[in-house]
Structure 1
Amino acid sequence: MLLIVIAFMGGLFTVLSPCILPVVPFVFARSDRPFATDRLPLLLGLAGAFALVTGLGAAGLSGAAQLSQYGRWISLALFALFGAALLFPSIATRLARPLSALAERFVTHSQDQRTTRRIGAAVLLGAATGLLWAPCAGPVLGLILTGAALHGATWQTGAALAAYALGAACSLAVVSVLGKRSLDLLKRSFSIGEGLRRALGALVLLTVAAIALGVDTQILAHVPGAPTNRIESQLVGLLESNDTVQKARPASHIMRVSLTASNADALPVQGRLPSLDGATTWLNSAPLSRDGLRGKVVVVNFWTYSCINCLRTLPYLKTWADRYRDDGLVVVGVHTPEFGFEHDTGNVRRALGDLKIHYPVAVDNDYRIWQAFGNQYWPAFYIVDAQGRIRYQHFGEGNYGEAERAIQQLLADNGRAMPADNPKPVLAGGAQAPADPSDIGSDETYVGYRQAQGFASPQPVQSGIAAVYTLPTQLAVNSWALAGQWNVGGEFAEPTAQHGRIAYRFHARDLHLVLAPAADDKPVRFRITLDGAPPGAAHGEDVASDGTGTVTSARLYQLVRQRGTVDDRTFEIEFLDPGAKVFSFTFG
């Protein structure tokens, strides 16, 4: 229930986002109509269309993206007719007849056919507005869509999307009320009713042209960000601090601790170790079972090998596995994939070798262990005592000292003598080095259309087909764009010709990119720049100082590691060969 309430509030706050601007002219143009029979049906149509199409996409149904794209063009044509009707009164009646007839087919039993036609026309215009509205994918909407992607379409997902859309409709209702008052004032003060109606028609037509040509996207890339994401993050924080909704919260990568359900002094019993029988296979070990681990202290770590937050926890897990192995500690990695390539056991086995992981790893491709734990996070770890009881759990990075003290306490309770002095600190380098949380102004950004946000190319995304994109003249911070010929899929984008480029304006010490080679595993060469120049000393471990590198396997690549002052920088990567798959940016 809390998720639905927060989704509604997140929708309310979208009125503060620049991305709401393209649909405002359509709502404002109806401000002079009665609320109950015109404006309210329009807003309900907007909410319903958005929730339906977004829900179909979140459920991963075939053709959802194409339906949305076709719907946008139909909507643009409908609004072009609407704008023309406002601008040219002589043809308004003629243009309205087909719309009225269509409305009557939806509602045929009303006693007042005139009211019926008005309501039906308003609902259709509202549905068209919903198809044109592409809200900023902030933390709240991202929360809903990520959960749907991981767990499938559920009634909770549908209810949350509907609540989000309804919240946005309510905020637009306020815009409509203010618009009506403004129009009434102008009419009374200047007697310009007819001229004002024509001006609104011209505004609608200009907006239609801007959306059709992708000009709205380019303009919004230069609009300073609103406080919406910060407000939504605070709303999401309510979920993180509320234990009652913990198991309903969609999975996410967590850089900092989001919920610590216990502390090393108390270590209350928090449940029993679930079954590990859901693993599709085991690596580095024969299959382990709950009964077979009785008598051992166990750390169960949920991770996925391309997750930067998971990678930064590995030095601690590997150290604990080696440091306390002889005292009865067993570290078990549960590899639960996010991207398609992480379902490949061969890729996981290669990653274990590259990352020098020697403790047992359960491959959880079917999410059965994940679901048995009710887990919702990458990374997450659960510490289990010798009696098979969960005594400590932690989600995200951080609090490693507290977790190690919990391990020591449970080993001591099991009869093992623990050293009195503090253990040596854990050292890590490369992508596994700790992040610099004090100076990270950029968040994880997906490139596939299902979860993409911040896209700023002038052209709208053509999902699932090869299309040509260009870079805008300027990128706002946390905006990114494509250049060249690309095929944008639901999970990744792929350059279909040589010299495809991506540019990203970011603020962080480190920049990583999850990449995979071409479909035939053929390596793909690339070159990066920072502010138009080779990275030099700011290069990451997977790129040379001149900016050159090669995609050889599907994994996370560290491309930027700044050594000096962190400032807003423009990153650009050019793929010298076609076929690379680009999944997501992460920062540190």
Structure 2
Amino acid sequence: MLELIAIGIIGGVVTGLSPCILPVLPIILTVSVGRRPSHVVAGLAISFSAIMLLGTILLSALGLPKDLLRWLGVAMLVAVGLGMVFPKLGSWLEAPFDLIPRPTALQNRAKGHGGFVLGLALGAVYVPCAGPILAAITVAGATGDIGLSTVVLTLSFAVGAAIPLFFFALAGSKIGDRVDAVRRHTRAVGVVIIALALALATNAPERLQRAVPDWTAGIQRSLGENTQVQQALGGGGSLAACRTADPSKLQDCGPAPELAGLTGWFNTEQPVTLGEGKVTLVDFWAYACINCQRAGEHITKLYDTYQPAGLQVLGVHAPEYGFEHEVANVQAAAKREGIHYPVAQDNDFETWKNFNNRYWPARYLVDKQGNVRHIHEGEGAYAETEQLIRQLLQEANPGVQLPAPVEGSGMSERPGQLTERRNPETYFGFERAQYFANSNYGAGSRHFDAVTPKTGQYALAGDWTVNSDHIVPQRDASLQVNIHAAHVQAVVSGSGMLEVTTPDGARREYPVADGTVDVLRSEQPVDGIVSIIPHGEVTMYSLTFG
């Protein structure tokens, strides 16, 4: 436990010194004037920890948007700023928090300063960089897997992040003590807080964050690659050790974890079980993930080739997008992608958590006794996996007649050859958008002037509404993306049509449904502009490339 606390504190300190604190740093410096820095930072640490651990669970249970808490934090900052502009309002806002039981002396010193309230608001808008520690906390909070270790790790991470923030807040307080004008003009400070809160609401600091290099990236990477850290975050054990093992050799990873919480079975008359004399390939996938689709072609080929010899395949569908929870959508995607091996849905991520899975796609090879013998995360190494399947099938039945291998090295290498130049996965929602060419890209309803994107970029034209994880076309809306890819898919939902013009000038229309739409498929990589004009009630999430 002491090691876990140390890991959390170190990860928090590194995060607190990274460029990701830039959006909240001006507020921390400003609000600490005339307040106790300890109260500001304590409020931030408490609300941040509570939101990380319980926010997603609570919002999901109530059916509320996942960004609600962030907007409440912005609203609280605006309210506190207004309270400084209008002191009577400030007293009303602070009154409920004065009722919180605290030592009398501390309550008397804190009364009227609002530092704790401001800290609570900052905790809701504080979005630190997702290093390895925070990633583990985020997954635990999102899936409800909150135990003592998770709570300890979260609290120690919050304490670590609070240490540098405390010194920043202390600096702001000292500056205010030295500059009398700052202390006298409380209303002006309130106006500054309101302006900074509105900047956070409109994601104005994002461009600055992208422009500033992350001077902590090397430390974060070293921390994530440390063996002790990986064991602490991943639960340790033989499965964790097998994730980085030689992909061409069978390993002894221990018993396969339990298949739990699986629903929506199809392509089978009864649920798949592990072991019991059967060699099983377990594949974690999501149907809108193009990496999963490319891997699925190889897995289907292996199933078709070796199923008569005793191989069974289980596709565990763990949804990445909301619409991927629907049974009909998953079944339609499986049919479209030619998947006819057994599939089950893991909408609550129970099997995902049991396997301590971390990626889409990921495959686990289980022998006839039910032991995991091989793990591969991501695409590739299909020929190596095939050879291991052949070994396990021969172990299970020494007299089995195996067909000729169907995977060659060239088939495994082709995706990697294209990876260096092809477009990266491109998200449209403002929370993850990176590759846009428009200078005014950001949240809300906006008009975009037509610009020509560079290779790897996209550009919107016309009127669009940009939301946290998707965009919605309005009047005269169109999208252009400059590609180097052989395969382009749009992740969409709703109804209507996509009018697509490819670099060769060909124009086609594709119907929209919840899932993916192939807007380009070629044998060889294509360079140039793909234009997409949506018609009807269409929501667009991302573009993926192959």
Band of TM-score, shorter chain = 0.7 to 0.9
Decide whether aligned partners of structure 1 residues 174 and 339 sit closer, same or farther in structure 2, where only a CA change above 3 A counts.
same
Tell me the amino acid that sits aligned with residue 294 of structure 1.
Answer: E
Question: How far apart, in 2, do the equivalents of 1:396 and 1:221 lie?
Answer: 30
SS at match of 1:580: strand
Select the residue among 122, 126, 141 that pairs with 1:129: 122
Whether the 8 Å CA contact 1:511–1:560 is kept in 2: the answer is yes
Task: Give the C-alpha shift of residue 415 in structure 1.
Answer: 1.0
Tell me the amino acid that sits aligned with residue 29 of structure 1.
Answer: T
Q: Which residue is 1:44 aligned to?
A: 42
Q: Which residue is 2:234 aligned to?
A: 246
> Are 1:576 and 2:526 counterparts?
no
> Are 1:347 and 2:324 counterparts?
no
Whether the 8 Å CA contact 2:502–2:531 is kept in 1: the answer is no
Tell me the amino acid that sits aligned with residue 412 of structure 1.
Answer: Q
SS at match of 2:114: helix
Q: Which residue is 1:74 aligned to?
A: 76
Q: Which residue is 2:25 aligned to?
A: 24
Task: Give the C-alpha shift of residue 176 in structure 1.
Answer: 3.4
Task: Give the C-alpha shift of residue 39 in structure 1.
Answer: 0.8
Q: Which residue is 2:496 aligned to?
A: 523
Whether the 8 Å CA contact 1:7–1:164 is kept in 2: the answer is yes
Whether the 8 Å CA contact 2:243–2:377 is kept in 1: the answer is yes
Alignment of 1:103-182 (within 5 A): 104-106=98-100, 110-111=104-105, 114-117=108-111, 121-135=114-128, 141-151=134-144, 159-179=152-172
Tell me the amino acid that sits aligned with residue 515 of structure 1.
Answer: V
Q: With the length of structure 1 as denominator, give the TM-score of the two structures.
A: 0.71
Task: Give the C-alpha shift of residue 38 in structure 1.
Answer: 0.6
Task: Give the C-alpha shift of residue 72 in structure 1.
Answer: 1.7
Tell me the amino acid that sits aligned with residue 191 of structure 2.
Answer: L
Decide whether aligned partners of structure 1 residues 244 and 261 sit closer, same or farther in structure 2, where only a CA change above 3 A counts.
farther
Question: How far apart, in 1, do the equivalents of 2:12 and 2:26 lie?
Answer: 19
Question: How far apart, in 2, do the equivalents of 1:434 and 1:182 lie?
Answer: 54
Q: Which residue is 2:311 aligned to?
A: 329
Query: Per-residue displacement from partner, 1:417-444 (whole Å, max 9, x unpaired)?
Result: 7889976527769xx9557444578567
Whether the 8 Å CA contact 2:36–2:173 is kept in 1: the answer is no
Alignment of 1:108-507 (within 5 A): 110-111=104-105, 114-117=108-111, 121-135=114-128, 141-151=134-144, 159-179=152-172, 193-195=179-181, 197=183, 202=188, 205-206=191-192, 208-212=194-198, 217-221=203-207, 223-227=210-214, 228=216, 231-238=219-226, 242-243=230-231, 245-246=233-234, 259-261=243-245, 264-265=248-249, 267-273=250-256, 279-290=262-273, 294-365=276-347, 367=349, 369-370=351-352, 373-413=355-395, 414-416=397-399, 425=408, 433=415, 436-439=418-421, 442=424, 445=427, 447=429, 452=432, 468-470=445-447, 484=463, 486=465, 488=467, 493=470, 495=472, 497-499=474-476
Whether the 8 Å CA contact 2:503–2:529 is kept in 1: the answer is no
Question: How far apart, in 1, do the equivalents of 2:89 and 2:276 lie?
Answer: 76
SS at match of 2:167: helix
Question: How far apart, in 2, do the equivalents of 1:65 and 1:326 lie?
Answer: 49
Task: Give the C-alpha shift of residue 515 in structure 1.
Answer: 2.7
SS at match of 1:40: helix
Of 304-313 and 368-377, the range deviating more from structure 2: 368-377
SS at match of 1:515: strand
**Percent identity for Structure 1 against Structure 2:** 26
Query: Per-residue displacement from partner, 1:253-309 (whole Å, max 9, x unpaired)?
Result: xxxx992446544x3433335666864354333225438x63333222222222222
Of 223-232 and 382-391, the range deviating more from structure 2: 223-232
Question: How far apart, in 1, do the equivalents of 2:46 and 2:106 lie?
Answer: 24
Question: How far apart, in 2, do the equivalents of 1:393 and 1:123 lie?
Answer: 47
Task: Give the C-alpha shift of residue 79 in structure 1.
Answer: 2.4
Decide whether aligned partners of structure 1 residues 427 and 279 sit closer, same or farther in structure 2, where only a CA change above 3 A counts.
farther
The root-mean-square deviation of aligned C-alpha atoms, in Å, is 4.9
Task: Give the C-alpha shift of residue 115 in structure 1.
Answer: 1.7
- Count of residues in Structure 1 that have an aligned counterpart in Structure 2: 529
Question: How far apart, in 1, do the equivalents of 2:376 and 2:442 lie?
Answer: 41
Tell me the amino acid that sits aligned with residue 142 of structure 2.
Answer: A
Tell me the amino acid that sits aligned with residue 194 of structure 1.
Answer: D
SS at match of 1:313: helix
Query: Per-residue displacement from partner, 1:126-180 (whole Å, max 9, x unpaired)?
Result: 2233344344556654553344334466665555554444333222223234556
Tell me the amino acid that sits aligned with residue 26 of structure 1.
Answer: I
Question: How far apart, in 2, do the equivalents of 1:178 and 1:16 lie?
Answer: 15
Decide whether aligned partners of structure 1 residues 416 and 584 sit closer, same or farther in structure 2, where only a CA change above 3 A counts.
farther
Of 7-16 and 301-310, the range deviating more from structure 2: 7-16
Whether the 8 Å CA contact 2:82–2:89 is kept in 1: the answer is no
Task: Give the C-alpha shift of residue 224 in structure 1.
Answer: 0.5
Whether the 8 Å CA contact 1:442–1:507 is kept in 2: the answer is no
Task: Give the C-alpha shift of residue 368 in structure 1.
Answer: 5.2
Q: Which residue is 1:542 aligned to?
A: none
Of 38-47 and 141-150, the range deviating more from structure 2: 141-150
Q: With the length of structure 2 as denominator, give the TM-score of the two structures.
A: 0.75
Task: Give the C-alpha shift of residue 313 in structure 1.
Answer: 1.5
Whether the 8 Å CA contact 2:285–2:360 is kept in 1: the answer is yes
Select the residue among 503, 526, 538 that pairs with 1:536: 503
SS at match of 1:576: strand
Decide whether aligned partners of structure 1 residues 284 and 495 sit closer, same or farther in structure 2, where only a CA change above 3 A counts.
same
SS at match of 2:254: coil
Query: Per-residue displacement from partner, 1:374-393 (whole Å, max 9, x unpaired)?
Result: 54443222222233333222
Whether the 8 Å CA contact 2:176–2:183 is kept in 1: the answer is no
Tell me the amino acid that sits aligned with residue 130 of structure 1.
Answer: G
Tell me the amino acid that sits aligned with residue 79 of structure 2.
Answer: A
Query: Per-residue displacement from partner, 1:539-571 (whole Å, max 9, x unpaired)?
Result: xxxxxx5576534333234557897799xx999
Tell me the amino acid that sits aligned with residue 384 of structure 1.
Answer: V
Query: Per-residue displacement from partner, 1:305-341 (whole Å, max 9, x unpaired)?
Result: 2222222222322232233344333333233333333
In the alignment, structure 1 segments of 5+ residues that lack a partner are 85-90, 188-192, 250-256, 462-466, 528-533, 538-544
Decide whether aligned partners of structure 1 residues 181 and 211 sit closer, same or farther in structure 2, where only a CA change above 3 A counts.
closer
Whether the 8 Å CA contact 2:8–2:156 is kept in 1: the answer is yes
Decide whether aligned partners of structure 1 residues 470 and 279 sit closer, same or farther in structure 2, where only a CA change above 3 A counts.
same
Question: How far apart, in 2, do the equivalents of 1:403 and 1:248 lie?
Answer: 24
SS at match of 2:312: strand
